[in-house]
Each structure stands twice: as C-alpha cells, then as structure tokens.
Amino acid sequence: MIIAGNWKMYRGPDVHALAGLDAIVCPPYTRLRECVEAGLTTYAQNVHWEPEGAFTGEISAPMLLELGVAGSLVGHSERRQYFGETDLAVARRGAAALAAGLGVIACVGETAEQRESGATEAVLEIQVEAIAERCGAADGLVLAYEPVWAIGTGLTATPEIAQDAHAFIKSRLDVPVLYGGSVKPDNAAELLAQPDVDGALVGGASLDVESFKSICLTAARIRS
Ligand code: PEP
C-alpha cells in the first residue's frame, strides 16, 4: 500500500512532524532538499524528459537524483489543465524518469463532462496507452487514478467507481494504481479496502500532519 502526499504549490507541513512515516511526500521544488535530509521518501511534482538543455523553468531527472530525490509525479491533472501537458509529454517525462532510475507516479483521470457523457473508459484508455507505450509495466512505475471532478472538490469517487476505474486501468497496464481525489481520514478506509486500490495520492489532507498520519495508519491497518 502506497500513500503519497502532494503538497502542490503550498509550503506544506513541518517535515520533522512526518519523520519515520511510511509514505511518499511530493513537496514543491524548494523543499525537496529539506525533505530528503529529514529522511522522507521524496518525489518531485514534475520532471523533464531531457537530462539537460535550454528548458527554462524545468528540472531534469539527473538534477533530482543529485538531490537524493526518489521519484516524481507526472501528468497531474493540474499540469494537464493549466499548463497544457499532453499525453505524449506526460509519457516522455515518465519514461525519462524511469530510465534514470527514479520512481514515477503517473496520473490519469476523466473530467466531470467526460464521465457524464459516458467517455470515462475511452479517456482512461488513451491516457494509459500513451504511458504504456513509452514506459511499459516498468518497475518503479505506479499510476494514480484521479478523477478531475474529485480533486480538491470534496467530491470523492464512491468505492465502486474507484474499483471499476482501477480494474479497467490495470487491464490496460498492470502496475499498482493509487486513488486520488479528496481522500480524507474519514473516507480512506473504504477506498483503500477495494481490491484494485493499491494506495492513495492525497492532496489537501496531506498538508495537515494529523490527517496525513491518520490516512497512513489506515493504510497500514488494511495491509496487515
Ligand atoms: C491531488 O492533488 O492529487 C489531490 C488528489 O488533491 P485532493 O486530495 O485535495 O483532492
């Protein structure tokens, strides 16, 4: 069971309060070093597909490795929505990170309109296929099913919706799949209990030490 906390563009919690926690943290770039030095398993929130070059504002896999970072998110819906990340760019980022020896959490998920129009599986298929084509079922690759309508909205997918989507994703690419979208201490247990839910990617609730710890404890209880 993998629990990862995405701090987005927030400062995030005191790293010392998270010491010893069996979880991944995804802080903003400015706090990567601090998290690594505190002994936390630390992922960046994005990574470029080239090892170096004229790509202002980007950061590469070798740069992350130099800091002691263990992996990176790619394809978060906020990157896709606000920064024009295409399926190809997401797949290239993921493949470069894996080839460099980083872990990768690659995010996929449908919008509310896509779900309402019955296009969920078609959208997931395209997103997952792009990742599968470039990355395969690589060691170190994890997918995160994050329905866009559930991120930061307080609207969580029902356990049945999550389970169906995860089973579909795994039928296309057999790697662990995390659920993300308004995971909180009070809904974590029923989501994490689903057979194809292998963990959670937590945004808002990871900014609060007690909420994040509570979700990690729930995951540990379910795994044991
Ligand atoms: C996220 O940022 O990936 C996320 C799932 O956010 P939240 O838990 O706040 O919905």
pLDDT in tens, the chain (224 residues): 999 999 999 999 999 999 999 999 999 999 999 999 999 999 999 999 999 999 999 999 999 999 999 999 999 999 999 999 999 999 999 999 999 999 999 999 999 999 999 999 999 999 999 999 999 999 999 999 999 999 989 889 999 999 999 999 999 999 999 999 999 999 999 999 999 999 999 999 999 999 999 999 999 999 77
143 within ligand 1 shell (Cβ under 6 A) = no
The distance of Cα 148 from the centroid of its chain, to the nearest Å, equals: 13
Nearest CA to ligand 1 atom 1: 203
Confidence (pTM): 0.97
64 within ligand 1 shell (Cβ under 6 A) = no
Q: Is 146 a catalytic residue?
A: yes
d(CA 142, CA 137): 9
Q: 77, 144 in Cβ contact below 8 A? A: no
81 within ligand 1 shell (Cβ under 6 A) = no
Backbone angles phi, psi at 88, to 5 degrees: -65, -45
Cα–Cα separations (whole angstroms), residue 62 to 71, 104, 219: 11, 14, 32
56, HSE (Cβ side, Cα atoms, 13 Å): 0
d(CA 47, CA 136): 18
